[in-house]
Structure 1
Amino acid sequence: MAHHFADSIPAHLLMWQRVREYAVPPSMIATARRAVGDWAGACAAARVDVDLDLRAVRDRHGTDLTTHLRADLRRLAPDLLRWHLPRIAPDGWLRPGLTISLARYRGSGGTPLQLVVRTPPAWADAGQRISLALFEEPGNGARGHLSHPHPHPHPHPHPHPDRRFRLDLHRHLWDSERSGELARRCGAGMAPSMALPDRSHAPARPGLPDRPAVHDPSWASASWAAEAELLLWAEGRPRGAFTVRLGARSRAVLELVAPDDSHAPTVRPLREALPPQEVAALPVLPEAAARVLPDLELLRAGLIATDRLHPLVAAALAASGSLAASGSVTASGPGPAAGPAARPGDPHRVECQGEVHRIALRDGALTAIDHDLAQLRREELLVALGGPALPCLRAIDEAHRNPEALPAVRERLGHGDVAGALAVVEGLLGHDAVLRDGPLREELESAAARRVDHGLFRSGLLDAHPRAGAVGGGDGGGAASDVRHAEAGHRPRIDRRTPPAIRSKRNSRARPRTGQTC
């Protein structure tokens, strides 16, 4: 068995390992509902909110478009879509504030429409819920907008589909009937490490680095020519230039060329320099085409077992023979270690009073079973008066406040798997356990408070971070949120959800200590 050291594994693979373990639990994979055409039930199981009304779509855009839309919804695998959505480091949560195109339609009167999936902003991403909607593309000088069945829809920071994260050219990442194309489109049979095109002789471009990193195995550069051909064809360009985003300030400008239509096109660096404005207007190769499928990287590194893959992903890779070719491990090999599930009745052993005592679940609560009830009551009274506690009672108290499975509970709560997190807690402490003050209770209370913020965002009551003072609708929702947090004694920590203005004030050494403000 190959041994893996944490310092030798890329950080993004460790992130994807956690994502594959916790982000799409088995309870979200509603294969039976998809099989009978219950797309709405499958969306509910995968925590996907449907922000479209087929009757309203039919009345506004006609029967033909509604027929195509309904067919796509029946083919939609929302759990597979969640599996492949873009994520951010280090937690592996969904990239916030995105609108991603899934399919394009032509409505009545030639109005272009897109079926899109949206992720909430970072401050309202509790539960990691996503939503489906229709986006009407701009026409006749009008700005594009989201079609919503409700008269007061919740605002979205970026309603326009993102060019970098588009899935309308990659239906195999969400369409259950085309998921078999995954192995061919992701380049599973190609070499695991490919080099990016060399730009050492390309002219310098303003604002761009001289050369990108050329030996990064996470780039699927071997399939860029085929993917760029699909991209340019969708944009109405048979050949031409396109860009690949390599980093926050790094972009490769490439060109798809071929001697004639009978030859396969190839990719080469653009020979002439373009102004930054023209570079920004070029088509962008989608992230799903630019990078290697994370599942393939995990399989090649031996960081995931085949039975931990999504069923449709595993079936597509197995049908092409990619699982054996990638050197993947089986279920008995080194998969992601989530820890064994706690079984009710499994005793914990503690050295107490010169003996080894057992702690196990009795009548729905964690109990020191080698002590009688009278002795336990006397010891609990002694602890209440400030006396020392028995080792058994200390172990029970520590299990309630800071259990060994707290990292797993925290990961599940972060990815929105509240039911899975509570199942772990009940398996450890029992269904009648009363949580005591400590990290475990703080995590559960924080997850509940953040779900309230998400509900306010969905209802349209808030369109910005509740601490930013921007209240959508002017009904004091932000002040109510502040009061609720103040009553709970909760001081929000500085993280990526905190607005920049508040973060700068909290981190400033010169911030005033009195009630006066500047």
Structure 2
Amino acid sequence: MRTDACFPPDELASWVAVRRYAVPAWMIEKSAARREAGDWRGACEAANVDVEFDLAKVAAEHGEETARALEADLLELAPDLLRWHLPRILHGHSALSTDRTFLLSGTDPWLQVRTRTIVSGTQRLRLLFDSADDATNLDDWTDARHLWSAPGSAGLRERIGGTPFLRADGTAETTGSLAERVILAQEDGRTEEAWELAGVTLDRTVDRSSRYVSDLGKVLQGEPINIPVLADEIRRAGRKKAWLKLHWATAVELRLLDDGGMSVAAASADRMKRRRALPEALFRRLPDLDLLRHGAIGVAELHPLVVASLFPGYDGPVTGPPGPGTPAAVRVRCKEGAWHEMRGGVATAHAAEERRREQALKALGGKVTGCFAVEEHWRGQEGRLPRGLRAQRKELFARAQHGDEAGVLALLEAGLDPRARDGRDRTLLHYLPCVNHTELLPLLLKAGVDLEANDQEGRTPLLFAVGHAGPEALVRALIDAGARTDCTDDSGRSLRHLVRLMKRYELRFLYDQVSDDIGEDWYGEYYDEDDDYDWDSPEEQDERGPGA
């Protein structure tokens, strides 16, 4: 099995993590059940999508016909499928691509979904019906209903050009088709040959507008572009040419030729800022096919709507992404060369008396060793965890970041120590903005997780919640639990600063509660402390009218 043939190693690990953690099976099941019952709001809630509009208000402002068309689209919306297909930040991450806007339907205003602005923050999505004039990273999915609509998902197989190397039942098969030969050439590094096989003319004209664009072959190298479908996608959009944005500074321009062919040329990403590029999801190969082909995942682990479209001949169970299992025992070298087993950072091989001795030694300035040292590493002290424990800790925080509170609770019930810290010294309390905190917060506090723990940037869980879109209910719950409000991070930002900087209109109570003497004076350069702060949200300001 050569999984490195289709992905660089770090991208492979990221895609495996995305498919394992980003859309858990319970989310798919719960969202589908609500959607099939006609409860589109419930489906969104189950899939961690925040609905930021009201249909009655839409009808009042834009007319009943617009509201009915919007409601019809919402009844088709499969928010879990939408989350499945959204682009990701890879190279060691599995989070949603940040600060992106995806137009789903409408003209203006649009039904649209937006991702958050911080990689390490909540993975909750925002669903709006609004103008997209302020969107900086825009993807038009209005003609891509196979990516977000339950009925439209049936068209996925056609839009991606079939399933190369895979039969209709999901088993492996090589037919030597054009799509397969193109993919093999791409994976072997024969990039230019791959494009030529698909009948695309390579235009080697150098774009002089950017120093980042010099060689077409280098621009295209390593990009998993679904070349055979590009011409159809351009025609479907009613265009003669289209742009693919590949990196922050590079892009390619595609042109349909008069003879029916197509050409590709390197371009500067700067030149296409005002042009709407072809959405990434329409020109990149579906990662699921490469993961299946090389055995990294199985058909049963895919989204059910994806399986139904891609593999109509598959008759096995579709369970969705696997949930957490029982953490395996990890052998740890303890004192005097003895080997003990640990699960989830807990030294279970030692009696209470031994633990008291180690705690006394630590209090006197001594150094703990063996299993107890591993416990300290699990809880954030410097040192290296055994590989198995690192994997268990990684899964715990990955499930937390992706909003899988059920998975987190299952891992804790299976014996993982809740006092774990991730690679940035964040505790599970820092991850509460990502999950439903109502059950998890009391459990963590009872387990002794430090309410004032600082991460590497000096942020307590309360600071982190305010700065990373933690809901008002969580902020109030942390304060009620005793979290200090006179804290600052390593940059000198207080809660008062963060409330104002992040435009947390709903947290005025906290802004008023925190003294303006807390924090560094330099941070005031981001706004004038002498100015009156308008606590009304942008929507409320619009309602007041201009000049109010």
TM-score (norm 1): 0.67
The counterpart of 2:152, out of the listed 178, 184, 205, is: 178
Rounded Cα–Cα distance in structure 1 between residues aligned with 2:245 and 2:422: 43
Q: Which amino acid aligns with 1:74?
A: L
Contact 1:97 1:120 in 2 (8 A): yes
Say whether the 8 Å CA contact 1:127–1:413 is kept in structure 2.
no
Distance change >3 Å, CA 484–CA 423, structure 1 → 2: farther
Distance between the aligned counterparts of 1:305 and 1:276, measured in 2? Answer: 37
Does residue 121 of the first structure (1) align with residue 124 of the second (2)?
no
Q: Residue 214 of structure 2 corresponds to which residue in structure 1? A: 209
Partners of 1:279 and 1:349 lie apart in 2 by 55
Pick one of 428, 438, 441 that aligns with 1:444.
Answer: 428
CA-based RMSD of the aligned residues comes to 4.9
1:454 matches 2:468: yes
SS at match of 1:115: strand
Once the two structures are superposed, what CA deviation does each residue of 1:55-113 show, in whole Å capped at 9, x if it has no partner?
A: 001111111111111111111111111111122233121121122100115xxxxxx32
Taking the TM superposition and a 5 Å limit, the aligned residue runs for 1:88-487 are: 88-90=89-91, 91-105=93-107, 112-122=108-118, 126-136=121-131, 144=133, 159-160=134-135, 162-163=137-138, 165-189=139-163, 190-191=179-180, 192=183, 193=186, 194-195=194-195, 197-202=200-205, 204=207, 206-207=209-210, 208-213=213-218, 214=220, 216=222, 218-232=224-238, 239-257=239-257, 265-269=260-264, 282-319=275-312, 340-342=325-327, 368=348, 371=351, 403-404=389-390, 405-429=392-416, 435=419, 442-448=426-432, 449=461, 450-455=464-469, 470=501, 472=503
- Quickly say closer, same or farther: Cα 1:406–1:481, change in 2 above 3 A: farther
Residue 427 of structure 2 aligns to a residue whose secondary structure is helix
Q: What's 1:20 paired with? A: 19
After TM superposition, give the deviation of residue 209 of structure 1 in Å.
Answer: 3.2
Question: Is the CA contact 1:368–1:393 (under 8 Å) kept in the aligned structure 2?
Answer: no
Q: CA deviation at 1:394?
A: 5.7
Q: 1:187 to 1:53 in 2, by over 3 A?
A: same
1:314, 1:33 → 2: CA distance?
A: 20
Q: Cα distance, 1:472 vs. partner?
A: 3.6
> In structure 1, how many angstroms separate the alpha carbons of the residues matched to 2:274 and 2:422?
52
| CA contact 1:400–1:429 (8 Å) conserved in 2 | no
Cα shift at 1:440: 9.7
Match of 1:40 in 2: 41
Which structure 2 residue ranges, 5 or more long, are not aligned?
164-178, 187-193, 433-460, 476-492, 520-525, 527-548
Write the distance in 2 (CA, Å) between the matches of 1:243 and 1:378: 66
The structure-2 alpha-carbon separation of the partners of 1:21 and 1:56, relative to structure 1 and needing over 3 Å to count, comes to same
| Distance change >3 Å, CA 10–CA 219, structure 1 → 2 | farther
Matched letter for residue 254 of structure 1: L
Aligned equivalents of 1:256 and 1:94: distance in 2? Answer: 32
Q: Which moved more, 1:195-204 or 1:469-478?
A: 469-478
Gaps of 5+ in 1: 106-111, 138-143, 145-158, 233-238, 260-264, 325-329, 487-500, 502-518
Whether contact under 8 Å (2:109, 2:131) holds in the other structure is: yes
How far apart, in 2, do the equivalents of 1:215 and 1:274 lie?
A: 15
Equivalent pairs: percent with the same residue?
29
What corresponds to 2:88 in structure 1?
87
Following the alignment from structure 2 to structure 1, what is the Cα–Cα distance between the partners of residues 83 and 58? 25
Classify 1:351/1:246 alpha carbon distance in 2 versus 1 (closer, same or farther; 3 Å): closer
SS in 2 for 1:52: coil
SS class of match (1:88): coil
Pick closer, same or farther for the CA change 1:5–1:53 going to 2, 3 Å: closer
Q: 1:199 to 1:393 in 2, by over 3 A?
A: closer
Cα deviation for residue 21 of structure 1 reads 1.2
Cα displacement (A) at 1:311: 1.5
Counterpart amino acid of residue 109 in structure 2: L
Give the number of aligned pairs. 427
Cα gap change, 1:131 to 1:465, in 2 (>3 Å):
farther
Contact 2:24–2:404 (8 Å) recurs in 1:
yes
Distance of 2:420 and 2:335 partners within structure 1: 22
TM-score by length of 2: 0.63
Contact 1:103 1:168 in 2 (8 A): yes
Q: Structure 2: how far apart are the matches of 1:410 and 1:35?
A: 31
Contact conserved, 2:467 with 2:502, CA < 8 A, in 1? no
Amino acid at match of 1:62: G
Distance in 1 between the 2:128 and 2:7 partners? 42
User: Which digits, 9 at most, give the CA deviation of each residue in 1:225-248, with x for residues without a partner?
Assistant: 11001112xxxxxx5232222333
- The offset of 1:453, in angstroms, is 2.3
Contact 1:466-1:481 at 8 Å conserved across structures: no
Q: Distance in 2 between matches of 1:304 and 1:63?
A: 46
Describe the superposition over 1:184-240 as per-residue Cα deviations: whole angstroms up to 9, x where unpaired. Answer: 1112343235427343454655334341445646101110111001112xxxxxx52
Say whether the 8 Å CA contact 1:242–1:282 is kept in structure 2.
no
Distance (whole Å) between structure 2 residues aligned to residue 279 and residue 353 of structure 1: 65
What SS does the aligned partner of 1:176 have?
A: coil
Could you tell me how far apart the structure 2 residues matched to 1:445 and 1:302 are? 36
Using a 3 Å threshold, how does the CA distance of structure 1 residues 336 and 279 change in structure 2: closer, same or farther? closer
Is the 2:23–2:321 contact (alpha carbons within 8 Å) kept by the matching residues of 1? no
